[in-house]
Each structure stands twice: as structure tokens, then as C-alpha cells.
Amino acid sequence: MFFKKKKKAQLDKNRILNAPLPQHIAIILDGNGRWAKKRGLPRTAGHQEGAMNVREITKICANIGVKALTVYAFSTENWKRPEEEVKFLMKLPIKFFNDFAPELIENDIRLKVIGNVEDLPKDLQKKVLEITEMTQNNKKMTLTIALNYGSRDEIKQAVQQIATDVLDHQLKVEEISEDLIDRYLMTYDLPPLDLMIRTSGELRISNYLLWQLAYAELYFTSIAWPDFKEQQLYEALFDYQSRQRRFGGLSEKK
């Protein structure tokens, strides 16, 4: 369901900030390439602009009280893209981490990376380790970058580890519960997911946080990620706050 765009004057930011905010927001950063093509630029220019926008939206989320922001930067399926684009996308996070590190420290934001980091280029692996260690004690918000990540693969790895622990007698089959599975996922130390945003008009999940999305609210917008600014974030928050989250139960009106 698309959000009907409201004029800026109709959005009361103070009212939004004083209402319950999602504690964990996930975003599928879609539309970078199309944004660039529309402007006669190479797709890499769109990815560069998209990375800059991650920095801005991250700081806004931290400052308004969101506790976790998880963004889908590169999926396990994205290796199928043209070789030159993939090479650029493997270099872009290094520049992103280098440029953003001072702001992460200044804003007390912890950086976490989920996905198969061991399959990334060695220089990127080294930078991921460096930036996560540098920010590990920051408390205000956690920015999680899903990099070489696929949700089915994440669930497969969790099942394999649970099976291994059962065979090693560290775990009993009857102890396996939804809460236990949560603890074996890559997001084990993050709050439950409240809101998932996908930009650029696509209406699908694309193998992203499938387990975690079970009761999250979904918000789709036709705005390309580089154009998703503070105003668009507040529109998504306004829409989130207008919904009744019943988690499978009935509303009080029923």
C-alpha cells in the first residue's frame, strides 16, 4: 500500500516525535541506479549518492530516538550484476566507513555488519573489522549494514548451528523455541523489527530479514533512495503511527 503524499504543512513533526516511534527500522535502499539513469549519470553515481543519504538518514534516526537502523546494501544475489558495478560496490563501503567514522563517534552510533563478510574482498573485511571495533562501545543507536547478506542463507546458517549444538549436547531439541532461534540469527543483539521501508516503488521483500519481518509494518514508496530525505522519513513515521499493531490479536474496538 502506497502512502498518499501529504503537503509538508500537514505533517506535524513535533506530534510525530511525541508519539511512539519504531525502535528498529529496516530499509531496502532501492533505486540508486534508476536515479542516476534518469539524470544521465552512470549507475555508480547513484550508488555514491545513496551512500551519502545513508549517512544523513542515520544521523536523523539517531537524533530522534530510533535505537536501530538496518540497511540492505548488498545482497548475496547482487554478485550477478555487471563486473564493473560490483567492483565499485566493493570499494564504496571502504570510503563510506572512512568518511563516516568521525560522525559515528560524534553521534554515539555503533556500526554492525551482517552477512557473509568472509567472502568479501580482504581490504573490505579489514575495514569492517576496524570500524566495528572502533564503534563497539557506542550506545545511542546501532547502524547495521547488510553486506553480502541473504535472509534464507542467514536462516540456513542458524539451523546448521542449532543442529551442531544439539549433536554436541550443548542444546536439547525440546529447548528450541522462537526466542532461541532469534538468538542464532545475525540480528540477535538488535531490538525486534518494527518498520521496514522500501524505496523506488518495488513491492517485494527481496530475501531481506524474512524471520525478523514477521510482525513488522511494511511501507513502500515510489521515491528513489537518493531522494528519500528527512521529509520522506517523517511521512513513513506518520504512516507507521497511524496503524494498529495487533500482533495476531484483536484490536480493542473488536
Cell of 5: 503524499
What are the binding residues?
Answer: 30-35, 43, 47, 75-77, 79, 81, 198, 204-206, 217
Give phi and psi for 25, each to the nearest 5: -115, 135
Give phi and psi for 199, each to the nearest 5: -95, 170
Cell of 138: 557506542
Annotated catalytic residue within 12, 18, 30, 107 = 30
Q: Is 189 a catalytic residue?
A: no
Q: Is 12 a catalytic residue?
A: no
Look up residue 202 and give its amino acid. Answer: E
Look up residue 30 and give its amino acid. Answer: D
What are the binding residues for substrate?
Answer: 31-35, 43, 47, 75-77, 79, 81, 198, 204-206
Q: In whole angstroms, what is the distance from residue 88 CA to residue 252 CA?
A: 51
Annotated catalytic residue within 12, 18, 53, 78 = 78
Please check whether residue 196 is in contact with residue 138, taking contact to mean a CB–CB distance below 8 angstroms: no
What are the binding residues for Mg(2+)?
Answer: 30, 217
Which positions are catalytic?
A: 30, 78
